[in-house]
Amino acid sequence: MNRKPLMVLVVEDHAAIARQIVDFLDGLKWQTDHAATGMLAIDLATRNAYDVVLLDLNLPDLDGLEVCRAIKARAPRNVPVLMLTARDAFEDKARGFNQGADDYLTKPFDLRELALRCEALARRGQLHVGQELRVGPLTLQPREKRALCGGAPLPLTLAGFKVLQALCGAYPHAVSRSALTHELWGTNPPDSDALKSHVYALRKQLELAGAGTMIVTIPQLGYRLELKEAADV
């Protein structure tokens, strides 16, 4: 089966289980990050735009429900959370869903089913993609791959549009370089720093359109949109 590569965060403190999941997803050519603690999971989910978070409830530092709440509150976009746990009582599942979980899979589970659930959650998370996005003077029309600044069309390349769409979707949060790279090239990024060139060109287009310096660099992280310098257009 041909699958679109996903970007997944695996939150699991049991090393053997984590390795089994990561190896399986890597075999599907998906991009995976691993966190063995709740604090690291929150940090990664805040800095990267994942398609799905696989979250174990039994973590050494924080309760998984607390981690779920934090991710839902702080992540740059509404990332789907699939809880993985041995707790199979109805009350446990109800608490998970009440804290923001999007799906629930009890251990042990079939890795093939895990992948199918990830794909279903990722598709659900993309349902908003066709909706118009508005940030300050910017209007994005994802279905038409069209961007406007103050009502005037922006002559963007497809790569420039994808970068701007990711930044608008995450606003006011930052988007990491790794997330933008994955958005543009999936699991086969170029060797050169092509992302920097695309961001530079996009900045120039926005400045020429009178929007000011909207794209700011966050050191050691990535980029975000900032409106305070945007001109009235």
**In-domain check, residue 14:** yes
Residue 233 lies inside a defined structural domain of this protein: no
Question: Are 121 and 12 in the same domain?
Answer: yes
Identify whether residues 153 and 138 lie together within a single domain: yes
Confidence at residue 213, expressed as pLDDT on a 0 to 100 scale: 87
98 and 14: one domain? Answer: yes
Whether residue 49 sits in one domain with residue 115: yes
Q: For residue 106, is it within any domain?
A: yes
Q: What is the pLDDT of residue 129?
A: 53
Domain of residue 101: give its range.
7-125
CA distance 131 to 219: 31
Find tokens 């981690």 and name the residue. 67
232 within a domain of the structure (yes/no): no
Q: How many domains does the chain have?
A: 2
Q: Each residue of 93-107: pLDDT tens digit?
A: 888 888 888 888 988
Distance of CA 158 to the CA centre of its chain: 19
Position 111 scores a pLDDT of 95
Task: Give yes or no: residues 11 and 120 share one domain.
Answer: yes
Q: Is residue 230 part of a domain?
A: no
Q: Do residues 158 and 203 share a domain?
A: yes
Instruction: For the chain, list residues with pLDDT below 70.
Output: 1-3, 76, 125-131, 187, 228-233
How is residue 64 written in tokens?
A: 């998984």
Query: Phi first, then psi: what are they for 7, rounded to 5°?
Result: -105, 115
Find the CATH number of the domain harbouring 99: 3.40.50.2300
2 belongs to a structural domain: no
Average predicted confidence (pLDDT) for the chain: 86
Residues 120 and 135 in one domain: no
- The whole-number pLDDT of residue 128 equals 52
pLDDT in tens, 11-25: 999 999 999 999 999
Show which of 102, 125, 148 is a domain's final residue: 125
- Give residue 1's pLDDT: 44
The verdict on residue 104 lying in a domain is: yes
Is 69 inside a domain boundary?
yes
Looking at 68, 95, 125, which one is the last position of a domain? 125
183 and 94 both lie in a single domain: no
On whether both 50 and 84 belong to a single domain, the answer is yes
83 and 45 housed in the same domain: yes
Domain identity same for 93 and 171? no
